Each structure stands twice: as structure tokens, then as C-alpha cells.
Structure 1
Amino acid sequence: MSNRGANNTIEQLLGTRTGGPRSAVSQDVINRVRVSANIVRQNFDELEDFVDGRLDNDALFIVYTPNGGEAASYLYKHIHNYLSSLYSFNEQIRERVNDLAPENSITKQDIISGQSFYSERLAFLRGLRHDVQHGEYNSLKLDCRHTAGNFRIYCVEFNEQAFSSGAVRHPPDYLRHTNQRDRRYPLPYIAEFHKQYFNGFVDDSVDWLTGNP
């Protein structure tokens, strides 16, 4: 049954009020969750530092033209690192919860199902992660906004056609909770997700694992 009204995101994804795990969780498990969350945060900080503009606004980055290809590769590396660490963190939580939940479980489909606001916002990033992992960044397009001498100013746009016809299986599953305006600029989307949803999900995960959802 749907339980989207519950405050704790793990309870929402499980679809029922469990009250936490069926057995006590060791401090080592909690520490590993926090370490994984900090890796996601570190990768976000590195992405934010690399971009010259505000990541949550225009996310512009300046490229010295002779080194343009190298600069783009570094940007893609930072995007990949963030999305991959986010994917790993969510899988870690999903597997731990499934080991400890009294009856229900969270499937990979549940993680993007819209059972919670977190899963709604995560779905698009989950799809991007699959694309950058298997599709050679086909859905990311560099758009040149300004040119000044040997410098060009770029932003990253989402190429929906390339995403939908690329390596991602069932692409509509990852797009259904967002519209074209949401998806147009992936970097501000990442910033909004990280600042408004990720940390809350970490707190909810720890609360559930410690029996206080």
C-alpha cells in the first residue's frame, strides 16, 4: 500500500510503517552509511568547485579553447563521480533495509517509483547515471553561450532524444516524474536535488536503521 504521507522516506519506499529494523543494527553499519554519504557530498563539492558559475543557477564553466577537450573531460568525470557515488549510496541503503525490514522490501523500481518526493527527484539522476555509465555521455550536450578571445563559456544541456534512443533501458521510467524544463539543465538539477533532498534522505536512512523512523 502507498504510505507517501509518512515522514520517513524509507517507510514511504517500503510502503508501510515498520518502526525500523527487525533486529538491532551495529554501529559499524551506521558508520559505513555515513562514510558513503560523505563520499557523495565530497563528489558534489568537487563538481561545484569545478564549475565557474553557480551550480544551482547557471552552472556555466569557462574553457580556454586550446584545452577545450580536456576541460570537458574533467567536467564529465565530476558528473560521473557524483552520479555513481549517489547510485552506490542508494543501493547500499536499499540492500541494508531489505536485509532488516520485517516483511516488505525496496526494489530497484521502487527507488524511482515516486513513492516519495526523494524517489521522484532521484529518478532522472538514476537515468543519467545509466547513460554516463553505458552510453558515453550521449545525453549531455555542451552548449556554447559566449566567446571571448581564446575563451568560451559553456553550459550543459540534456539531449532527450539521445537519452531515449541510447543505452538506457526503459528511458520513460526515468523521465516520468520531471518535465522538459526540469531536465533541460542537468547541473542545476543535481544541485537542487543534493541540497534539498539528499541530506534529508541520509538522515531518514540513519533514523530508520537506528529504529527511530
Structure 2
Amino acid sequence: MKQGRFISLEGGEGAGKSTQLRALGDALRARGMEVVETREPGGSEGAEAIRSLLLTGNADRWSPRAEALLFAAARADHVEKTIRPALERGAWVLSDRFLDSSRAYQGQGELTDADIMVLHRIGSAGFLPDRTLLLTLPEQEAAVRARRRDGDDADRIGGRASDFHRAVADAFARFVVNEPDRVRAVDASGAAAEVTTRLLANLVDLLP
């Protein structure tokens, strides 16, 4: 049986993760692979139910600690019900966000990166992607794309202030420096097809 691989796509608001996940999935299928496309929060019945709690309501609906616990619970169900079964049958799993988003978004302020990793160890036994592709864009370009996509309907996390999203970008950049074997930065500017080619180039060592 072919070895399954788990790839996460990360990045801030407007980086093009959803578009590139679909394009990357199509490119891998063209190579004869089974591909499962999923997302976080969500990706399983239980996790999708938690997603609706996390992304709706007022900005202060959840405390930072409650929010981090909900994300960890959603991820635990996602890993157990969707990701691991697909990998076991040899599929490639592509996820629009995973643990590194929790580290970047929830691991600041009251909670540290170490706190988020403890929750992940408890909820998902420390399970990590084979490769994390971080889509990067200049801040202003990302903001324009996000506004074009969401208008005035950004969710309760995406709608936070620019300084929060700047801190998120800084956290993602640290992951690239500290975990270079797993996390790769990919320029998300330019034509979509060019970005997909860059993503594939960062998976060459994992492809059969």
C-alpha cells in the first residue's frame, strides 16, 4: 500500500489557502493519488459542530482559554475520525489549517505556545503534519484579498484588529525558522497556477 501523507496549508487571512488546497488536490490526483481535502476547525461531524460555535457570535463570546480548548477538542475529533483513517488507507490528506493556526492565533496573550502544545498532546497525541506549507503575502495585499472575499462579513476571528493579525504573521514566521524540516514558507503572490507550482516544489521529497 502507498504511504499516506498529511499536508497542512497555513497562513493569515486572504492568503489563498482554500483556493490552493483545491488546486494542490487536483495536481496530486493527476498523479494518481487518492486525496482527501479537509479544513479546521471542522473536517468531521463533531468538529464541524464545534466550528459553528467558534466562528459565530460576538468577538468576546469565548475567553482565550475556552477558545483554545474548543479548537483542541475539534482537532481531536478531526484527527480520529477523518485524518488517521485516510492516512491508514494510503490517501494524502490536505487540510486548510491545522495545529499551527492554533499556535499562531490562540498561543498569544494569556496562553503560550507551550500551552497549546500541551492541549494538542492531550487531544491528538501530538500528531503533526508531514509537511506544513505556509502561504505568505505582504500585509496590505492579504488585507485587500480578505476584504474582497468577506466584505463586511468576516467571522469573529478573521475580523479582529490588524495588530492581532500582525502578531499571527510573526508567529507563523517563527515556526518556519524553528521547524524548517516541517514548515516551509511559500510566496502566495502572483498567478494562482504559479503558487500551486511552488507548493508542489516543496513536496518533491515526499512524492512517490
TM-score normalised by length of structure 2: 0.34
- Larger Rg over CA atoms: 1
Larger helix share, 1 or 2: 1
